Amino acid sequence: MKSKPTIATRLLLGIMFFGIGLNGLLRLVPLPQAEGPAAVFMDGLTASRYFFPLLFVTYLLAGAALVIGCFVPLALTVLAPIIVNIAVMHLFAPSSGAETCLAALVTGLELFLAWSYRAVFRPLLSARQELVSAQNR
């Protein structure tokens, strides 16, 4: 995975998630207030008190893994359901055009990287997998 587009995409996605995670934990820049149905959804997540700290730590660790280039498939796997949730939320409860475009960008970056690392993910997508014991190796 040494192609320049793959490295650039990995770094961009990693910097985005690392930055958002750091900002969420340290509150460096205030986040814009959600409006409409998105605000109701965000208020429910905020009321749980654990969700956003856990989410921002996940962003921070996965973003760092992408930037450093270690455990990239694991970071992509961890971020995949988060990105799906971001995309679906902005599809069904859009708050602003900029946020919807950002959600589309993040989704596109994730899909490009998943395609770039498809050889790593191929065994996960097989219908049947034979278990190989350590003694048989």
Evaluated on CA atoms 96, 102, 106, 108, the torsion sign reads positive
Domain count for the chain: 1
Residue 92 lies in a domain: yes
Does residue 122 lie in a domain region? no
* 83-115 pLDDT tens trace: 999 999 888 887 678 888 999 999 999 999 999
Mean pLDDT, rounded, of the chain: 91
Instruction: State the residue range of the domain holding 85.
Output: 4-116
pLDDT digits (tens, 9 = 90+) for 21-47: 999 999 999 987 878 888 888 899 999
Given this model, what pLDDT does residue 1 score? 58
CA distance to 3, 53, 103, 115, 137, per residue, from 86 (Å): 28, 17, 6, 20, 42
Residue 127 lies in a domain: no
User: According to the model, what pLDDT value does residue 133 have?
Assistant: 66
Name the more confident of 127 and 62: 62
pTM for the full model?
0.87
